Amino acid sequence: MMRALLLVDHGSRRGEANTVLVQVADIIRRQSDFAVVHYAHMEIAEPTIAQGFDACVADGAREVIVHPYFLAPGSHYNEDIPRLVAEAAANHPGVRWTITEPLGIHHKLCEVVLERVEAAIERAAGPRARRT
């Protein structure tokens, strides 16, 4: 059974914000065994969750794993995304689906935070401070 991954973020009016998920999907596509990886925005921008789910099925998926690219399990994760995914799935009888946990608390995310902090400290210090 072909399994697809559908990454979902909030969506933004700012194109550069929406492009982040496109780039994440590209990286995951290259680094994973998923034959099908699509992305969708919960609101504001396209593709919508319904469009993303449709694309997964059009590419042959019989199971869609939906990953909310969110930090915390708020109301979008607990209410909106499950409702929107269920509505999208209703158009595809026989296609299984599941929703993963959001990013949440994970030591690898904390490592990324610390890398970003260190980079900011180095930028703020400037070239003279780095020589000492």
Strand partners, 98: 65
Residue 129's pLDDT band (cuts 50, 70, 90): low
Long-range contacts of 81-84 (CB under 8 A, 24+ apart): 81/8, 81/42, 81/49, 84/42, 84/48, 84/49, 84/50
* Mean pLDDT across 97-122: 96
**pLDDT per position as a tens digit, 4-52:** 999 999 999 999 999 999 999 999 999 999 999 999 999 999 999 999 9
pLDDT at 128 over 70: no
Helices (H), 32-106: 49-58, 75, 81-89
Strand partners, 26: none
Contact 9, 21 (CB under 8 A): yes
| Residue of higher predicted confidence among 78 and 127 | 78
Task: Enter the DSSP assignment of 10.
Answer: -
Contact 49, 89 (CB under 8 A): no
State the average pLDDT for the chain.
94
Peptide bond into 82 cis (omega under 30): no
Residue 21: what residue type?
Answer: L
* Mean pLDDT across 66-74: 94
CATH number of 3-101: 3.40.50.1400
pLDDT at 132 over 60: no
Q: Where are the domains of the chain?
A: 3-101, 105-132
